[in-house]
Amino acid sequence: MSETPYRFGRGASRFATRNPARPGRLAGDYGADDPASVQEAVARAARAFRDWRARPAAQRAERVAVWLDRLAQRAEEIARAIVLEQGKPLGEARGEFAKALAEARFMVSQALHQGSREVGAARQGTRNLVLRRARGVVAALTPWNFPILTPLRKIVPSLVAGNTVVLKPSELTPAAAWLAADAAAGILPEGALEIVLGGRDAGEALIRAPGLCGVTFTGSVATGRAIGAIAGSNLLEQNLELGGKNGVIVAASADPGSAAAQIAHAAFLCSGQRCTAISRAIVHVSHWNAFVAGMQAAITAAKLGDGLDPTTTLGPLVSASHRDRVAAMVDQASREGAQLIAGGGPARPQGCEDGYFFQPTLLRAAPHMVCAREEIFGPVVTLLPYTEWDEALAILNGTDYGLAAALFSRDSAEVERFLNEAEAGMLFVNQGTVPDNHMPFVGTKVSGVGPGSVGPSALAFATTEHAVYLSTGNIA
């Protein structure tokens, strides 16, 4: 089925997106914003902020809820946009939209819980209050792997707290975010949600624009460092959700078959292009053969293809350059001595021979190898055997990342040590790394800066804290 390319954006400079499963097909033709138009978007958001923050919190929540209801009516349109630009199977795209909406509605429900609280006073005739107030204009920069989930994850907490938002989605997958912003017309005040399009230049112009009060970003550690340097020079509040090299320990007490099935799902969902994807499996030697067999069975069952094909279970990588980067890291692993167990290179499924596919890959490696320490962001799992628990925990924590970690074990002492010692923001026991809609999404080490982007703590970035000392004696 042919699709009409998306045509969005104000700028005269054009850029295109293509279907990563069928790169010969144009997905979108966009106008990139120049620095002047980016500053104009920030200025519009600043003007809208004065009215938006003055509205009662319940009214803001109601307006955002109406917008989400309108988005729900466009669910299939947005899901198809995700498939055409990002490549994931349609079922995954629908699931992404459903999760995005559930998270967003939870954050709306939190809007009325951000008000003042009273603290015991130290002086007679005085009341001490702690207020939380809207921050101002927030810049949100989002990645290509979750084109609707991540934008809503940043927009909704900011809006319900009383901020206005300027969103720059990835130049690889802007359609879903544009459609979401378009759906806000007539519901949110003009300027409350602005969207700018383009690549690195547009993103840098946004971070440097006068009038910003905070920057929230999801993406790679390298880009996060660059954004942090610019934002830090302007003393902007930052919320950075960065990469992961997520490990799972399959302990001696675990069921290796059950663990393999759940880990394969967590590893290969979104073709491994997921910051919480499991990319390292640290397996007790007694389970090695059974676990490898379970992972190979999951790979054999995978069906690579166009995301709009209902039989597809594994879509392409997002671009040729990203596929080549994944291939280069697998090749480097082989040069360092890693054993290739399955996959290992590009794939050419029938009908999508030119697509950016990569075979689901298993590597047996040592902890010091790059494939065991650095984020690959593809359908590649590094397998590492262990014999003693302390060894497993050391391997798990032996990276600079700290986003998610998992353990499959029936041993309560191992579970307790994992919960106390695993160096990650999100900890999963006897399940894959798919977070709930109301829980903090947060990383440690280089995987995160600032509070979680989901959950009750998300409003901590969206608001500023104020200490109030109220002398009651002279108030009529």
Q: Indicate which CATH number applies to the domain containing 203.
A: 3.40.605.10
For residue 436, being part of any structural domain is answered with no
Predicted structure pTM score: 0.96
Do 291 and 229 lie in a common domain?
A: no
- State both tokens at 286: 């007694």
Which CATH number fits the domain that encloses residue 382? 3.40.309.10
Q: How confident is the model at residue 457, as a pLDDT?
A: 81
- State both tokens at 324: 């080549």
For residue 421, being part of any structural domain is answered with yes
Give the DSSP H or E segment for 280: strand 278-284
Do 146 and 254 lie in a common domain?
A: no
Do 146 and 284 lie in a common domain?
A: no
Do 197 and 301 lie in a common domain?
A: no
For residue 474, being part of any structural domain is answered with no
Q: Which residues are catalytic?
A: 275
Q: Partners of 427 in the beta sheet?
A: 405
Do 174 and 252 lie in a common domain?
A: no
Do 264 and 237 lie in a common domain?
A: no
DSSP result, 113-164:
G-S-EEE--SSTTEEEEEEEEE--EEEEE--SSSTTHHHHHHHHHHHHTT-E
Do 290 and 369 lie in a common domain?
A: yes
- List the domain range (segments joined by +) for residue 29: 7-242+447-468
Distance CA 140, CA 433 (A): 25
- State both tokens at 240: 């950075």
Name the nearest CA neighbour of 195 among 206, 209, 210.
Answer: 206
Do 148 and 33 lie in a common domain?
A: yes
Do 368 and 226 lie in a common domain?
A: no
Q: What is the pLDDT of residues 267-321, one digit of tens each?
A: 999 999 999 999 999 999 999 999 999 999 999 999 999 999 999 999 999 999 9
Q: Kindly tell me if the per-residue pLDDT of 78 is higher than 80.
A: yes
Domain total of the chain: 2
> In the 8-state DSSP scheme, what is residue 271?
G
Do 234 and 285 lie in a common domain?
A: no
Do 77 and 180 lie in a common domain?
A: yes
Q: What is the pLDDT of residues 119-176, one digit of tens each?
A: 999 999 899 999 999 999 999 999 999 999 999 999 999 999 999 999 999 999 999 9
